[in-house]
Amino acid sequence: MKMSLRTAVLGAAAAALMASSAFAGSDAKLSGDLKIFLDTSNPAPRATMEAMIGRFQEKHPDLNIETTVIDREEYKTQIRNFLTANPPDVATWYAANRMRPYVDAGLFEDVSDLWQDAEIAENLASTKGAMTIDGKQWGVPYTYYQWGVYYRKDIYEELGLEEPENWEEFKANCQAILDSGRKCFTIGTKFLWTAGGWFDYLNMRTNGFDFHMDLAAGEVSWEDERVRKTFENWKELIDMGAYIDNHQTYSWQEALPFMVNGDAAAYLMGNFAVAPLRDAGLTDDQLDFYQFPEINPDVEMAEDAPTDTFHIPANAANKDAARAFLKFVVSADEQTEINNGKNLGQLPVNAKSSVDDDKFLNEGFEMLSSNSPGGVAQFWDRDASAEMAKVSMEGFQEFMVKPDNLDRILAKLERARQRIYK
């Protein structure tokens, strides 16, 4: 389902673009049309982006802004077509390897000039690597967020459970939850990527960040014994009955009620799940968060912290205005505003921004700042190539439903690796 909103047109008809060899600054006079495509179709992110675009519009009343919001899953299938055939001036996407197909195809604009601006260079330094391919920057980040285990604190207290610090405690907690008549974890794998989150953590905790990234890059066989060990750990949870039944029929949102209703005690998910859990009635006294626990004490703790991004299509019509918009998005004030708990509820990318006084944001900031020495991954479907991610996540979902198919699944993934990364 495609949804469009038309931002109010302020000022006269579109004027000629200002001739400039440099990008237009956020306070420069801008005119013409600015077309923005967003994948932020869930209510809170959509409202946040609309409000931010409105603030940019107020600064540039002669600029005509048209914003189109597309369902996130549909956006993933449409992006190559619209970048090629009729590109907007600005489009949302994701960092790291998820950019590469569009960079390699010449569909994203090189915006390294923006990253030479002192404020961006200094205050976004931690995310520069995620925006860099072949030594150039191809967009800007606008938010990132922690992943971890969000759990029903009241259920844990009822059962006398503590936050687990290692794999044995993790499984012992799960068994106690199962014995109480509940499932340990809710999950919806209908759209596959949620299973990717479980694979990320199990593999990084079993084999470490560097091994995980080598696997994502196609440098390790899927039939390697270290990969098999990751799946053996996963199978322990599956065999216990840790996950809700029929998870392959639910989206991640449709899996939320199991936790809200107390039928499942926890959810391995990104921090974006907090807002709908609160909206569904869970209070902060009932809801809490912990870092996915250690499995192998010989590897350092690494985390998933996906970074969402804005890009300028290579064939955009109004690149001056688009550059000004990207610069506006990453400013300290905007980063503070859009990432606060009432909006995206995530972490700002600008080092001069303020982290909202929200317990989950603060816990996530603390975890990413001091408790993830092993590295920060972007998420499986962003770190692996798009084709390998799709095939492997299909395998993850199948494994969660039919774990005895592991040998066949790994053989299939290995064949795919040899074909994709030849």
3-state secondary structure of 287: strand
Top-confidence range, 209-218, 319-328, 365-374: 319-328
Tokens coding 255: 């899996």
| Rounded average pLDDT over 398-407 | 98
Distance CA 362, CA 184 (A): 25
Q: How confident is the model at residue 256 (pLDDT cuts 50, 70, 90)?
A: very high
Distance CA 278, CA 271 (A): 12
* H or E, element range at 232: helix 225-240
High-pLDDT (> 70) share of the chain, %: 92
Question: What is the DSSP-derived secondary structure letter of residue 404?
Answer: G
Residue with tokens 């499942």: 264
| Rounded average pLDDT over 169-180 | 98
Bridge partners (DSSP) of residue 92 are 310
Q: State the average pLDDT for the chain.
A: 91
Q: What residue segments make up the domains of the chain, in order of their start?
A: 2-144+307-353, 147-304+377-420
Residue with tokens 């994701």: 94
3-state secondary structure of 1: coil
Distance CA 282, CA 241 (A): 25
Distance CA 157, CA 153 (A): 6
- CB contact set of 277 (below 8 Å; sequence gap of 6+): 150, 256, 259, 260, 287
Residue-level pLDDT at 376: 78
9 pLDDT more than 60: no
Contact 289, 360 (CB under 8 A): yes
200 pLDDT more than 50: yes
Distance CA 348, CA 351 (A): 8
Bridge partners (DSSP) of residue 143 are 308
Residue-level pLDDT at 369: 65
Contact 377, 204 (CB under 8 A): yes
Residue 257 identity: P
Residue-level pLDDT at 132: 87
- Cβ neighbourhood burial of 359 (10 Å; 0-12, 13-18, 19+): middle
| Rounded average pLDDT over 394-414 | 98
Identical fold for domains 2-144+307-353 and 147-304+377-420, yes or no, is: yes
251 pLDDT more than 90: yes
- CB contact set of 238 (below 8 Å; sequence gap of 6+): 399, 400, 403
Q: How confident is the model at residue 382 (pLDDT cuts 50, 70, 90)?
A: confident
5 pLDDT more than 50: no
Residue 50 identity: E
Contact 56, 342 (CB under 8 A): no
Where does 2-144+307-353 sit in CATH, by number? 3.40.190.10
Contact 235, 405 (CB under 8 A): no
| Rounded average pLDDT over 272-298 | 96
Q: How confident is the model at residue 275 (pLDDT cuts 50, 70, 90)?
A: confident
| Rounded average pLDDT over 122-126 | 86
Q: What would the pLDDT profile of 39-69 be if each residue is shown by its tens digit? A: 999 999 999 999 999 999 999 999 999 999 9
122 pLDDT more than 50: yes
Q: How confident is the model at residue 28 (pLDDT cuts 50, 70, 90)?
A: low
Looking at the structure, give the CATH architecture of the domain made up of residues 147-304+377-420. 3-Layer(aba) Sandwich (3.40)
Q: How confident is the model at residue 25 (pLDDT cuts 50, 70, 90)?
A: very low
Residue-level pLDDT at 362: 86
| Rounded average pLDDT over 112-127 | 92
| Rounded average pLDDT over 6-12 | 31
8 pLDDT more than 50: no
Angle subtended by helix axes 193-207 and 386-401, to nearest 10: 90
What value, to the nearest 5°, has the Cα angle with vertex 92 and ends 77 and 331?
170
Total length of the chain:
422
Distance CA 83, CA 205 (A): 37
